[in-house]
Amino acid sequence: MKNIFPGLPLVESPLFPALKSKWGLTTEEERIADDLHEKGFAVFDFPDSDLNGRIDRIQRHLGPRYGIDFEAADSDKTVGERRIQDAWKEDEDVRAIAANQAVINLLSKLYGRKAFPFQTLNFPIGTQQDAHSDSVHFSSLPERFLCGVWLAMEDIGPDAGPLFYHPGSHRWPIMSNALIGRRGYGSDLISAQDPYGPAWRALCEAHGSQEEVFLARKGQALIWCANLLHGGSHQKNSALTRWSQVTHYYFDDCIYYTPAFSDETLGKLQLRNLVSVSDGQLRPNKYLGEPVKAHSEMPRRRLFPRFIFK
Ligand SMILES: O=C(O)CCC(=O)C(=O)O
Ligand SMILES: [Fe+2]
């Protein structure tokens, strides 16, 4: 069957139930596709035979950069840095996890466009990040061609600030400045998520949506859809670690931009200039196969980089 909506990820298409039998999915791929379609996230075992070795090496290599005393079991682990962004540039194991070919093939099959990783985040503890959808930080035109893959680098219990999410929230309206009546282009923000917090809370309340936590086993991974509401729950025990890696993926032949600092309706987009983690090559913004240029009057976005989450 021809996909008449190529502007939607296959897995998020309303025609998904009719289309999926034609994709040649294995039983496991179909389970993942069904979960993404219905719930907005899917759990799978990370396919890498050297994963334990990579995790050991990443912890040894990145550990000293967080300023945390990992040696003493009862030391407060939450006092240092919470994240290292784009460690793939100097850590081959972080890069290999992000560029795992089986994961890229899986995402490409599920979305109907070729996936590429463009950002890594390595966390030694819980992020305690408020509920948000990544699509205010990273979006695409057409929409929804973005996902995160979160990997548990150790067993994560309820006191370590596990990842949480609101199942089904990927179907709620995609959060945007137009939706909340705000102008974003050229704006200043402490955190790009701040303007949308009240709207997300109102949606949760209206839907009676409860957060669910992911008590992950080491080596389990979770894909979240661009508009799935998720975050890091409160870390009840500050002596624990919660090692994890998030890789964000975009898909070929899209415009990549930051909605928090854009006004789509006016054609003012804060475009992103992306490099793929897989090959270090630029991935130009494209629409229907043709390159798209930045808006000529585009000012630099004004941010307070220290506080920005993405
Ligand atoms: O690991 C977490 O707690 C959440 C991370 C997250 O939201 C992200 O990287 O997009
Ligand atoms: Fe996120």
Q: All domains of the chain, ordered by start, with CATH?
A: 24-307 (2.60.120.620)
| For ligand 1, atom 7: residue with the closest CA | 231
The burial of 64, by beta-carbon neighbours within 10 Å (0-12 exposed, 13-18 middle, 19 or more buried), is given as exposed
Judged by its nearest atom, the ligand closest to the C-alpha of residue 244 is 1
Residues by chain with Cβ below 5 Å of ion ligand 2: 134
**Cross-strand partners of 151:** 221, 245
pLDDT in tens, 127-165: 999 999 999 999 999 999 999 999 999 999 999 999 999
pLDDT in tens, 292-309: 976 544 555 554 443 344
pLDDT category at 14 given cuts 50, 70, 90 is very high
| For ligand 1, atom 9: residue with the closest CA | 246
Residue 18 CA to ligand 2 center (angstroms) comes to 30
Check pLDDT > 60 for residue 75.
yes
Q: Provide the pLDDT for residue 190.
A: 87
Name residue, tokens 């990579």.
Answer: 54
Q: Provide the pLDDT for residue 299.
A: 52
Q: What is the mean pLDDT of residues 102-115?
A: 98
For 237, left (φ over 0), alpha (ψ -120 to 50), or beta? beta
Give this prediction's pTM.
0.94
Q: Provide the pLDDT for residue 126.
A: 97
Mutate to test the pocket of ligand 1, among 123, 222, 310 (most ligand atoms within 8 A of CB): 123
